[in-house]
Homo-oligomer: A and B are copies of this chain.
């Protein structure tokens, strides 16, 4: 098990922590809102009341300037350095697509690409084919059969797809076949091992099938990784963690770090509140609540929808607060500015309520008010020790 300072000091107590993530909640100054952010513009009486009694600050999802995908962003908030805990793009992509990975599976990202008659890559993204096209091409190569392994392929987005090989004795000691630039041939998979043989055969067969499918007439593979048991939050932090999320990606990442997935019925914030309640009743002491719509609205560039998503969370907040948590943290996994229609690197407001806290000057839950909070800004990775400390779950370091 990975063992750092936090793991060494973590101790089991009865206190209970809620980590509520409003996905993509952070934003930037928006012209439609006269320079305010959607979070500033939203009517959030519950969050604002809580803010005035809480420690506020901003978390930096990975490091300054780095825009995280949902996987790394959540891993960091759960206390897993997404750079050190190199999960492998393949595995995160597969988890994100709700593929039911088994330990020992070899996973890789597929990129469709364009090669010329000599096999030299002329476009590493095959002209960014549509996701529909990708799905069609994947169905063509989904019948590839390779001795000794089961092979699963599925589309991800645009030219991106994923392959999973399942069988005995696979390893991920395989270089990316993507040379990283055009004008070169894909890197050959060499070596005598089973994995290399399987991957070679798969690429050859796929090349044969895609031969006439210009621009997506070949594939390059990268991010080979074996899905293996991951140090769990249970072992690392002595928590009994659970997740109340509606989207597969978040259930997947949460399960990956050892959270028990709760059934949310109906599939909305009411159902999530019930799920959180039952998680506590069954003895869990850490619950991750995930609220998706703010991120989706950001990705769509839909300011009113983002505001609405935030206000919806605010209205439901009391049904979570009343469940009796000792420490409540509300934040986002990353920013998703409406004006960008993308995830971004901008720091994300964090609120910690409960436990011994220093209350700063923040009067509301927003990007700017968080600047005058007592927590300052810190790496997302550092949130978990702060929550454990707030809940009395970390012993003192040294004499």
* Among candidates B58, B63, B337, residue contacting A382 with C-beta atoms closer than 8 Å: B63
Across the interface, name the chain B residue whose C-beta is closest to A345.
B389
Which residues from chain B contact A389 at a C-beta distance below 8 Å?
65-67, 344-345
**Which of under 10, 10 to 19, 20 to 34, or 35 or more describes the interface residues of A?**
35 or more
Chain B residues closer than 8 Å to A357, beta-carbon distance: 28-29
Q: Return A179 CB to nearest CB of chain B, in Å.
A: 15
Known: A394-B345, A397-B72, A398-B82. A65 touches B29 (CB 8 A): no
A244 to B134, CA, bound (A): 49
- Cβ–Cβ < 8 Å partners of A64 in chain B: 378-379, 382-383, 385-386
Known: A368-B360, A374-B368. A397 touches B65 (CB 8 A): no
> Which chain B positions have C-beta within 8 A of A27?
358
Partner of A358, one of B28, B65, B358: B28
A376 on interface, CB distance cutoff 8 Å: yes
* Residues in B whose Cβ lies below 8 Å from that of A395: 67
Contact yes or no, B367 A371, CB < 8 A: no
Q: Nearest B residue to A74 by beta-carbon distance? A: B398
Type the 1/0 row for A18-31, where 1 means its CB is closer than 8 Å to any CB of B.
00000000011100
Q: Contact between B66 and A397 (Cβ–Cβ < 8 Å)?
A: yes
A71 at the interface (CB under 8 A from B): yes
Smallest CB-CB separation from A359: which chain B residue?
B29
Q: How far, in angstroms, from A368 to B376 measured CA to CA in the complex?
A: 11
Task: Say yes or no for A37: interface residue by CB 8 A criterion.
Answer: yes
Is the CB–CB distance between A345 and B386 below 8 Å?
yes
